[in-house]
Amino acid sequence: MAKILSLIREFVKQNVVMTVALVAAIVTSFIVPPDRAYLDYFDYKTLTCLFCVLAVVCALKNIRFFYILAKKVVLLFRNARMSILALVYVTFIGSMFIANDMALLTFLPLGYFVLTTTGKENYMAFTFIMQNIAANLGGMLTPFGNPQNLYLYTKFMIPTPEFMTIMAPPFVLSVVLITLCCIIFVKPEPLLVEDEPSPLPPARTVLYLCLFCLSIVIVFRGIPYWLGLIIIPVVLFFADRKALKMVDYPLLLTFVFFFIFAGNMARIEVIREFLSMLLEQSTLVFSVICCQFISNVPSAILLSQFTTNYQELLVGVNIGGTGTLIASLASLITFREYTTRNPGKTGYYVKMYSIFNFAFLIILTVFMLVLYSF
């Protein structure tokens, strides 16, 4: 019994947001008892697209595709500043295509490897923090870069050119800010990284890249999403079953539980009127604030029930991923990775994390408020 309780505690500890979502769904289900309307809560296309992208990314990760690609990029540079910039940019670009959490799980170990093998551990906290910010903000440009993007893109049927136009200003400013931070806080010290041969399996690489392209076509509404739900799991079942096991199912369940919670909240008259009133004042500001307390994915699902101003909501739940440690699920991944590899430095990391993240949050929010005022 004690062992079971210990396993439950460990599971809850590793999946805090999913647990909170489950509790919220259960509590609101007592207020709004389950009925046929519950079936309309779920965005099945979002869940399918997210599953397909995550599954294919896991398969590519298993052949070390992203790690090898990133390492080649880092090897092009021979000093600390340019190598850390490369690590951050790789994470930034990676988040556009493989989602922010997968980008961090893939490229944070690479950052650790580069810094420890070259004796530059003093840049560890800064690099992890910049990679975290890059993952959260880099993913904002594409519909599949962040989970909340995929949901809002699908829910509001946002045209792809409009989506990218909305996100372009904060994206460009984020690139400038991240670049300046790396130039200012990292010295151009000599750096050597050994190049070890790391061949990719040609057949699997081509197969997985084709599946990845199929996932992207589904996201962009090129073919029906249910085709991906048939083709991708079947192919991976024979090619790489481990990838199917590695999918972040707690993230998918987090979406499911928050769909129930948000759907129930939208049917409670007092809550609906209150949240609608706050969003009318400033969708951007309120969505940014909401992210600081319940994270950006839940904020997107919840607030989308009470506003049609998807432009400001989309921007708010993306730049709102900076700030507190719980503002983004990806930030918790970075925190866990850093504290696991650097025990005893938790306080220092949290202080540095807060300084940089709140600086980014304030600058980006003020910039977008000024932009919207014209």
pLDDT tens-digit map of 205-237: 999 999 988 887 887 767 888 888 899 999 999
Rounded to the nearest integer, the mean pLDDT of the chain is: 86
CA distance 335 to 348: 12
Residue environment code for 17-53, b if the CB has 16+ CB neighbours within 10 A, otherwise e:
bbbbbbebbeebeeebeeeeeeeebebebbbbbbbbb
For the entire predicted model, the pTM comes to 0.79
Cβ-based neighbours of 275, under 8 Å, separated by 6 or more:
265, 302, 303, 305, 306
Which residue carries 């995929």 as its tokens?
150
pLDDT tens-digit map of 104-115: 877 887 788 788
Q: Is the pLDDT of residue 88 over 90?
A: yes
Q: Are 97 and 215 in contact (CB under 8 A)?
A: no
pLDDT tens-digit map of 149-158: 988 998 899 9
Tell me the one-letter amino acid at 157: M
Cβ-based neighbours of 53, under 8 Å, separated by 6 or more:
98, 99, 144, 212, 215, 216, 219
